[in-house]
Structures are given as C-alpha cells and as structure tokens.
C-alpha cells in the first residue's frame, strides 16, 4: 500500500511556489524577492531579455542554486533545502547536453536506468518516446554523428522519458534552425503537458512565448513584473514593462496629455478620451502602441482611427511585412504593416493609429483599464 502510494506521487505533477525568493551574489541582486505560484500540469513560460534572470529562476526552482532568502514549495511542501536529485525534475538547456559516448538509446534510457527499471520496461518506454520524437531510426547511432536538432531532440526525449514532475526548459530551441524550431514549438507544449508534467519554459522571444501559450511570467531585471494567462497579458499588459517585454518590434511609447475628455499627443493629434479613462484626473499619462497598430494602409471602415504624419527614417521589408521607422514630432516610432510597402528615407508619410490598440499607463507605468 505504502509502495503504491509512493509510486503514484512520483508521477504526480507539482505546483511550484516561490515565496519571497531572492538571490543575491556578492552584493549584486540577481533576483528581487519573487512571489510566484505555478499550477500543476500547466505550461508556463518565463519571458524576459538576456540577463533578466530567467536562468537563475529556473536554477532556483531546480535546486541547483539556493535562494538567499525565501522558500521554494512543491505542492505546498517546502523543498528549499532538498537536493536536486531528490526533486524529480528534468532540465533541458540551450546547449545540446547528452552523454558524449553513449548511443542514442543509452542516452534516452539513462534516467530509467538510474531509477532502476527493468530492461524490458526500459526498451519499451524508450521506444515509445523515440517514436514520438521521430528518433526511432537513430537509436543505435552515436551521439557525435547526429545533427544539432537531433541531439536536442534526444535531450528532450531524456526529459520526457523521466516523467519528471517538473520539467525546466532553458531556451531549448534557441540553437536550432528555423524550421525545426517552428515544428518543435508546436509539439513541445502538447508533449510535455500530455506527459503530466508541470513545465517551465524560458525564452527571450515574445513571438515564441505567444505561440507556446499557457501561462507566462514576465521578467525584467530580476523582477517578475507580471504573471498570468499568456493571451490575457498580451492583450492587457499590467504595466509598461510587461508591454515592452511582450512586443517585437518594440512598442512605441509616448507622453500624452488628458484634459477635459480629450487625449492629445501634443503637437501631433488628439482624440476622444475612452470610457475607462474618463474618471482619471487631467494631466500627463503614457501611451503605448504596438507597431502593428500603426498601419500604412487604411483598414476596415468602422475601426476607430486617427492619422499621424511623420518622415521615414528607415524602411525594412521582412518577408510579407513592412517595418517603417519614422520620426514624428521629435520622437522615433515604428510601424508594422502587412504587405510590401517600399518607402524612401526622408519621405513624408501618413500612418493610421488604431485607437482600440492603444494601451494607457500612469506616469509610473501602471496600466489603466
């Protein structure tokens, strides 16, 4: 009975909670006190720029590093002092980490061997995972003879086969080529969530975070600035930092002035103050507008728009999207539009700003809804 119960908990996913966890190394604050609760069986994304503390946070969850203060809880149990190997976690890195002189089969089988499983069982489980990640034909091969993408799939297979309660993925697709990245991005959440693990996936790419879905924690300079459902946060970032992190190309931010029911970008344009904003006192606020809400073409008729004019500073065409950097009343703005729109530098240009895409913030960066 007891053994049965133990084996159940082994495969049970965990909720992960960080309670006032911080990390200070030699007087340098790597992580400011963080409170974060990741639900079990969720796919969680950590999004932030390089050096924002993603890897440190993952290492703190894994137990590879000890927090300077605060507690790490797995399913409500304090595991702050518990060693890494007792936490039943798996981790996949940006570099392709495998045992260098094991075959593919032995690499995938290694966590099962450590767990002391029987050879038949190991063979079956490795076979299933290899099938899932399309590695079946390589099982007898040597690691060194495989491509980077294949090596990373083996590392992912090792994490999957372990059926760890918590799987930590540290930019696992960053070193892969474009096509493989697209494909794995789609498959990864499905594979890991289906395996019953709680997943934390660190990335620095906003687009990747959006595609992965699930929940997201926004990191900025060692602080978690917001946590919530990915789509919610994308649509309604709680603060300017979240909006900045979650926008590529970078979000345009400018000062606006509210006075008696009218909002103005001084010297550029003005429009009617939206409902939510009406009760606020008059004065200066901040406006954030994502580049794709500044379009070069006039959109459908009933969209609420204002037009803004400026001069072109740089026009890039990337794929089927045109990016125009322009100068409007002394500020630099970026607009993104579908289709190919060649423009020459110095040209006067008119863009349509979607008022529904406007994000309003206090002077201190808190969003107003």
Partner 1 sequence: MINKTIRQSAWLFVVPVVLLVAFNALIPLMTVVNYAFQETFGDNVFFWEGLTWFEQVLNSDRFHDAFLRQIMFTSIILLIEVPLGIAIALSMPRKGPWVSVCLVLMALPLLIPWNVVGAMWNIFALPDIGLLGYSLNSMGIDYNFTQQPISAWATMILMDVWHWTSLVVLLAYAGLTAIPEAYYQAARIDGASKWAVFKWIQLPKMKRVLTIAILLRFMDSFMIYTELIVLTGGGPGNSTTLLSIDLVKLALGQFDLGPAAAMSLIYFFIVLLICWVFYTLMMKNEKQ
Residues that bind partner 1 (CB under 8 A): 59, 62, 64, 84-85, 89-91, 93-95, 97, 99-102, 110-111, 114, 142
Min CB(229)–partner 1 separation in Å: 29
Residue closer to partner 1 (CB basis): 165 or 242 = 165
Q: Which is nearer to partner 1, 96 or 246 (CB)?
A: 96
Minimum gap (Å) between residue 367 Cβ and partner 1: 37
CB of 270 to partner 1, least distance (A): 54
- Min. distance of Cβ 141 from partner 1 in angstroms? 11
Query: In whole angstroms, how close is the CB of 195 to partner 1 at the nearest point?
Result: 17
Toward partner 1, which CB reaches closer, 141 or 292?
Answer: 141
Least separation in angstroms between CB 111 and partner 1: 7
Kindly tell me which of 175 and 331 has the beta carbon lying closer to partner 1.
175
Q: Kindly tell me which of 85 and 344 has the beta carbon lying closer to partner 1.
A: 85
Residue 221 beta carbon to partner 1: minimum distance, rounded to whole angstroms = 23
For partner 1, the closer CB: 160 or 294 = 160
| 140 vs 279, beta carbon nearer partner 1 | 140
What is the 3-state secondary structure of the chain?
CHHHHHHHHHHCCCCEEEEEEEEEECCEEEEEEEEEEECCCCEEEEECCCCCCHHHHHHHHHCCCCCCEEEEEECCEECCCCCHHHCCEEEECCCCCCCCCCEHHHHHHHHHHHCCCCHHHHHHHHHHHHHHCCCHHHCCCEHHHCCHHHHHHHHHHHHHHCCCCEEEEECCCCCCCHHHHHHHHHHHHHHHHHCCCEEEEEECCHHHHHHHCCEEEEEECCEEEEEEEHHHHHHCCCEHHHHHHCCCCCCEEEEEEEECCEEEECCCEEEECCHHHCCCCCEEEEEEECHHHEECCCCCCCCCEEEEEEEEEEEEEECCEEEEEEEECCEEEEEEEECCCCCCCCCEEEEEEEHHHCEEECCCCEEEC
């Amino acid at each position: 009975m007891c053994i049965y119960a133990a084996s159940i908990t082994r495969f049970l996913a965990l909720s992960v909670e960080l309670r006032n966890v911080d990390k200070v190394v030699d007087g340098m604050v790597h992580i400011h006190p963080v409170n974060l609760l990741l639900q079990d069986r969720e796919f969680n994304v950590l999004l932030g720029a390089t050096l924002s503390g993603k890897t440190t946070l993952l290492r703190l969850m894994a137990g590879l590093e000890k927090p300077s203060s605060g507690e790490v809880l797995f399913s409500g149990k304090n595991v702050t002092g518990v060693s890494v190997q007792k936490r039943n976690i798996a981790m996949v890195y940006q570099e392709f980490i495998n045992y260098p002189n094991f075959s593919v089969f032995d690499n995938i089988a290694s966590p099962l061997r450590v767990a002391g499983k029987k050879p038949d069982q190991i063979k079956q489980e490795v076979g299933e995972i290899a099938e899932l990640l399309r590695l079946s034909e390589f099982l007898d091969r040597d690691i060194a003879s495989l491509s980077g993408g294949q090596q990373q799939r083996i590392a992912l297979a090792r994490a999957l086969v372990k059926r760890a309660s918590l799987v930590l993925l540290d930019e696992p697709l960053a070193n892969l080529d474009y096509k493989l990245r697209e494909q794995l991005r789609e498959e990864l959440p499905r594979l890991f969530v289906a395996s019953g693990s709680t997943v934390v996936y660190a990335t620095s790419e906003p687009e990747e975070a959006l595609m992965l879905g699930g929940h997201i924690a926004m990191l900025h300079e060692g602080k978690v600035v917001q946590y919530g459902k990915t789509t919610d946060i994308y649509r309604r970032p709680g603060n300017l930092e979240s909006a900045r992190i979650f926008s590529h190309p970078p979000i345009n931010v400018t000062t606006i002035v509210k006075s008696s029911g009218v909002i103005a970008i001084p010297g550029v344009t003005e429009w009617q103050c939206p409902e939510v904003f009406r009760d606020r006192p008059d004065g200066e606020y901040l406006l954030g507008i994502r580049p794709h809400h500044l379009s070069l073409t006039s959109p459908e008729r009933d969209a609420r728009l204002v037009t803004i004019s400026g001069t072109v500073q740089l026009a890039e065409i990337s794929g089927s999207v045109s990016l125009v950097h322009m100068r409007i009343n002394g500020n630099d703005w970026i607009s993104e539009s579908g289709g190919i729109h060649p423009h020459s530098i110095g040209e006067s240009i008119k863009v349509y700003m979607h008022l529904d895409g406007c994000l309003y913030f206090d002077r201190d960066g808190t969003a107003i809804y």
